[in-house]
Chain A
Amino acid sequence: MTHAQEHKSHTKLIWKVFIILSVITIAEVFLGIIKPDVLYLTKFLGTSPLNIIFLILTLVKAYYITWFFMHMADEKKSLRRAVVWTAVFLIIYLATLLLIEGSYINDVLGPLTKWNY
């Protein structure tokens, strides 16, 4: 089959991506266990800097999995945008509304919660 010759093996790239994903996971777990006070107890963009770091690292991992494991990088631009943009915009929209609503409920409900007996 000629088909077989068209595809070069991507084994090297796969192991490289695996190493990147592992390093990110190890960094996440390490930060999650030691929880340095400067990152954990301070505030940045409405949450702790540690949470922002976790979010960014998660998105980086998602990018590597989608682009190189699911081979999104090799797909046509039209398919890539139909899938990725739809997900990204809808999820951002949903998350924004839900989280704003959640912290509003907390503002209203929090002071009414009884903690002293």
Chain B
Amino acid sequence: MEVTIPTENDGTSWNGGNNKPLGTSYGKMMMWFFILSDALTFSGFLGAYGLMRFKFHDSWPIADEVFTHFPFLHGVHAPMYYVAIMTFILIFSSVTMVLAVDAGHQMNKKKVTFYMLLTIVGGAIFLGSQAWEWKNFINGTYGAVELNDGKIIQFVDATGEQITLESFVKSKHSGRTQLTKNKGVWFMKESEIPPFTLNEVVESFKANPEVSIRTEQINPDTKTKTIVPHNQALAYLNEAKTVVMGANLQVNEYGKTLFANFFFFITGFHGFHVLSGVIINTIVFFNVIVGTYERRGHYEMVEKVGLYWHFVDLVWVFVFTFFYLI
């Protein structure tokens, strides 16, 4: 058996000399172990998400009712389609990345440049899509009411379909307009005034007998949220604390705040990986153009950044499964 002994290197490089204990260069091996540790980090996050999901599995928000937007189709219930397109964009940018690596093996500078550019564009489109997804999630769709104990009450029509607050609540405008910077004396502004007060919601609810509410509780037989008939609903609304529009780290109109927290944290952490991937890809892209790797005699740097980029795609495959499918 061969034994690996450190041999002297010229002291000017940090590539670990000429020994290749696992058959790869120092840089590639370290990229693999970085990816391993990053994979364990993501497993920790997704594992924590799984823990909370199992804990609240009878009242967790249903993904199909949360992510329903599609660009240019307002008010159309289109679950999954947009995130499926995002997944395709990322997979395709993975394909162009591996094509760039392949072209690098053949020392084909022109092709490497072209495929790297496509990869960067794909990554940028994905980031934009994710920003749009966040925007929809933060702004919300329907609006809901939060009870004193933190539970979320949503409103449904006679057929059991969820409806927006605007569709039945009559606002008796308080006459107070939001203070914005251009109306202020100095840099004065305030956070957005909720479009409806709690009192208006409750009054309008009483006036519309066809509207009823649903709780977060999931009926295990149909896997839908439990609907409370109109005549029993007032007991719930008497416990109401505030009107909720959209989702943030404190409240979430779709249900458990934890869902929003995990969504922001995990997709945010993944998005940050995509962002850093795009930046590193851009640096490598310019290095390809100025011929750094041509002079070096190999395109291994493209391979290394490719490993990272594929890993980002790999993580998205899991995030997609656990947040949108399961």
Q: Which residues of A contact B (CB under 8 A)?
A: 1, 3-4, 7, 9-11, 14-15, 18, 21-22, 25-26, 28-29, 32-33, 40-41, 51, 54-55, 58, 61-62, 65-66, 68-71, 75-76, 78-79, 82-83, 86-87, 90-91, 94-95, 98-99, 101-103, 105-106, 109-110, 113-115, 117
B23, B53, B97, B307: the one within 8 Å of A76 (CB): B23
- Taking CB as reference atom, which chain B residue is nearest A103? B54
B47 in contact (CB, < 8 A) = yes
A9, A69, A87, A110: the one within 8 Å of B106 (CB): A9
In the complex, what residues of B have CB within 8 A of residue A86's CB? 36
Contact in complex: A69, B98 (CB < 8 Å): yes
A to B CB contacts below 8 Å, 22 in the list: A3-B107, A3-B298, A7-B102, A10-B102, A54-B326, A58-B317, A66-B314, A70-B307, A71-B101, A75-B22, A79-B32, A82-B33, A83-B35, A87-B39, A94-B44, A95-B50, A98-B50, A99-B54, A103-B57, A115-B215, A115-B217, A117-B238
Which of B52, B54, B58, B106 has most chain A Cβ within 10 Å? B54
Contact in complex: A76, B310 (CB < 8 Å): no
Please provide the chain B residues from 190 to 234 with a CB less than 8 Å away from any CB of chain A in the complex. 215, 217, 221-223, 226
Determine the distance from Cα of A10 to Cα of B103 in the docked complex, in whole angstroms. Answer: 9
- Taking CB as reference atom, which chain A residue is nearest B29? A79
Q: A101-B54, A103-B55, A105-B54 are in contact. List 16 more A-B contacts (CB 8 A).
A: A3-B298, A4-B105, A15-B95, A18-B95, A22-B91, A25-B88, A54-B325, A65-B314, A66-B314, A76-B23, A78-B23, A79-B22, A79-B29, A79-B32, A105-B51, A117-B238
Bitwise interface map of B from 1 to 34 toward A, beta carbon under 8 Å scored 1, else 0: 0000000000000000000001110000100110
Min C-beta distance of A73 to chain B, whole Å:
13
Contact in complex: B94, A69 (CB < 8 Å): yes
Given contacts A1-B107, A54-B326, A102-B55, whether A90 and B40 have CB atoms under 8 Å apart is: yes
B136 in contact (CB, < 8 A) = no
Given contacts A58-B318, A117-B236, whether A99 and B102 have CB atoms under 8 Å apart is: no
Contact in complex: B52, A102 (CB < 8 Å): yes
Determine the distance from Cα of A42 to Cα of B35 in the docked complex, in whole angstroms. Answer: 37
Interface size counted on chain B using CB atoms at 8 A:
69
- Taking CB as reference atom, which chain B residue is nearest A25? B87
Determine the distance from Cα of A11 to Cα of B15 in the docked complex, in whole angstroms. Answer: 30
Min C-beta distance of A70 to chain B, whole Å:
5
B80 in contact (CB, < 8 A) = yes
In the complex, what residues of B have CB within 8 A of residue A76's CB? 22-24
Contact in complex: B94, A101 (CB < 8 Å): no
- Taking CB as reference atom, which chain B residue is nearest A26? B84
Determine the distance from Cα of A117 to Cα of B213 in the docked complex, in whole angstroms. Answer: 13
- Taking CB as reference atom, which chain A residue is nearest B311? A70
Min C-beta distance of A25 to chain B, whole Å:
6
Min C-beta distance of B197 to chain A, whole Å:
21
State the main secondary structure of chain B at its contact with A. Answer: helix
Contact in complex: A101, B91 (CB < 8 Å): no
Contact in complex: A32, B80 (CB < 8 Å): yes
Given contacts A4-B105, A69-B310, whether A102 and B91 have CB atoms under 8 Å apart is: no
In the complex, what residues of A have CB within 8 A of residue B147's CB? 117
Q: Which residues of B contact A (CB under 8 A)?
A: 22-24, 29, 32-33, 35-36, 39-40, 43-44, 47-48, 50-59, 64, 79-81, 84, 87-88, 91-92, 94-95, 97-99, 101-102, 105-107, 147, 149, 215, 217, 221-223, 226, 235-236, 238-239, 297-298, 306-307, 310-311, 313-314, 317-318, 321, 324-326
Contact in complex: B94, A62 (CB < 8 Å): no
In the complex, what residues of B have CB within 8 A of residue A65's CB? 94, 310, 313-314, 317
In the complex, what residues of A have CB within 8 A of residue B50's CB? 95, 98-99, 102
Given contacts A83-B33, A102-B55, A117-B239, whether A14 and B95 have CB atoms under 8 Å apart is: yes
Determine the distance from Cα of A54 to Cα of B314 in the docked complex, in whole angstroms. Answer: 15
Determine the distance from Cα of A83 to Cα of B40 in the docked complex, in whole angstroms. Answer: 11
Which of B36, B306, B326 has most chain A Cβ within 10 Å? B326
